[in-house]
């Protein structure tokens, strides 16, 4: 018999057309058990080795890295501009690819590693441009972001409750850090001057963080907000 929808030839025992999925039934033919003329699986899937993918991605990172080094070294005799490219590639690899090496990457471990990598890259740039801003600006700002993000990630992972307190506290802490950042900017690059702009974002962030903490404390307010925002 043939499928009445797409016309493909069917065996007498076919329950469904293997091509279009239409139910196949011939009233004059008794249903027998017979083998389908078509294979069940056309293209059996092959398992891709994660090791192979890792090696290909690593090669994709190493290739441009070696290329820029080969362009830079013979021309300038030392690592000049290629240092930034290599640093950026290594940073991208650490942040985006390194966690994929693990089956269940733990953010509590990888977030500090990412920030440490950012810090090392900034330190390199600081030395490469003979800047004098790493210790007084980049290091404290990166360090603060590392501490704040790691704390949030750790609390969210290991403490079940208190989501509102964690996020509210983190946002408020970020707000309180902004004037410190302005001060560091002022100390490091004193051309800008201390105008106090940082108090505006600080006020907004502290208020918003405080509001989240208030929602965490006050259950009726939280439920009312949930009703407003989630249908
Ligand atoms: Zn069909």
Confidence at residue 31, expressed as pLDDT on a 0 to 100 scale = 67
d(CA 172, CA 154): 18
Residue-wise pLDDT for 137-190, tens only, equals 999 999 999 999 999 999 999 988 888 999 999 999 999 999 999 999 888 887
User: Would the pLDDT of 84 be above 70?
Assistant: yes
- pTM of structure: 0.70
Question: Domains of the chain: which residue ranges?
Answer: 1-46
| Mean pLDDT rounded to a whole number for the chain | 89
Residue-wise pLDDT for 89-135, tens only, equals 999 999 999 888 888 888 899 999 999 999 999 999 999 888 888 88
Distance 37 CA to ligand 1 centre (A): 14
User: Would the pLDDT of 64 be above 80?
Assistant: yes
Please list, in sequence order, all residues whose beta carbon lies within 8 angstroms of the beta carbon of residue 164, skipping any fewer than 6 positions away: 212, 213, 215, 216, 222
Distance 14 CA to ligand 1 centre (A): 11
Please report how the helices 139-158 and 107-128 are oriented relative to each other, as an axis angle in degrees rounded to 10: 170
Distance 10 CA to ligand 1 centre (A): 9
User: Would the pLDDT of 221 be above 80?
Assistant: yes
Confidence at residue 181, expressed as pLDDT on a 0 to 100 scale = 92
Distance 9 CA to ligand 1 centre (A): 8
CA nearest neighbour of 118 among 144, 87, 96, 148: 87
Confidence at residue 190, expressed as pLDDT on a 0 to 100 scale = 75
CA nearest neighbour of 94 among 52, 145, 57, 126: 57
Distance 46 CA to ligand 1 centre (A): 28
Confidence at residue 192, expressed as pLDDT on a 0 to 100 scale = 65
Distance 3 CA to ligand 1 centre (A): 5
The residue that leads in pLDDT, 62 or 49, is: 62
């Amino acid at each position: 018999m043939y499928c009445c929808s797409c016309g493909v030839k069917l065996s007498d025992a076919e329950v469904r057309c293997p091509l279009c999925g239409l139910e196949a039934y011939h009233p004059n033919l008794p249903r027998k058990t017979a083998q389908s003329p078509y294979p069940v699986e056309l293209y059996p899937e092959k398992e891709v080795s994660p090791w192979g993918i890792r090696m290909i991605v690593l090669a994709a990172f190493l290739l441009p890295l070696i290329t820029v080094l080969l362009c830079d070294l013979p021309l300038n005799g030392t690592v000049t501009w290629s240092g930034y490219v290599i640093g950026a590639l290594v940073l991208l690899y650490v942040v985006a690819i390194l966690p994929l090496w693990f089956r269940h990457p733990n953010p509590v471990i990888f977030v500090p590693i990412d920030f440490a990598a950012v810090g090392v890259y900034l330190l390199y740039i600081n030395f490469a441009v003979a800047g004098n801003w790493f210790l007084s600006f980049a290091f404290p700002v990166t360090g603060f972001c590392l501490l704040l993000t790691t704390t949030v990630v750790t609390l969210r992972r290991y403490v079940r409750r208190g989501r509102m307190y964690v996020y509210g506290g983190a946002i408020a802490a970020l707000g309180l850090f902004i004037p410190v950042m302005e001060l560091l900017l002022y100390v490091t690059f004193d051309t800008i001057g201390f105008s106090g702009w940082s108090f505006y974002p600080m006020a907004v962030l502290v208020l918003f963080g405080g509001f989240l903490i208030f929602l965490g404390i006050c259950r009726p307010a939280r439920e009312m907000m949930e009703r407003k925002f989630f249908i």
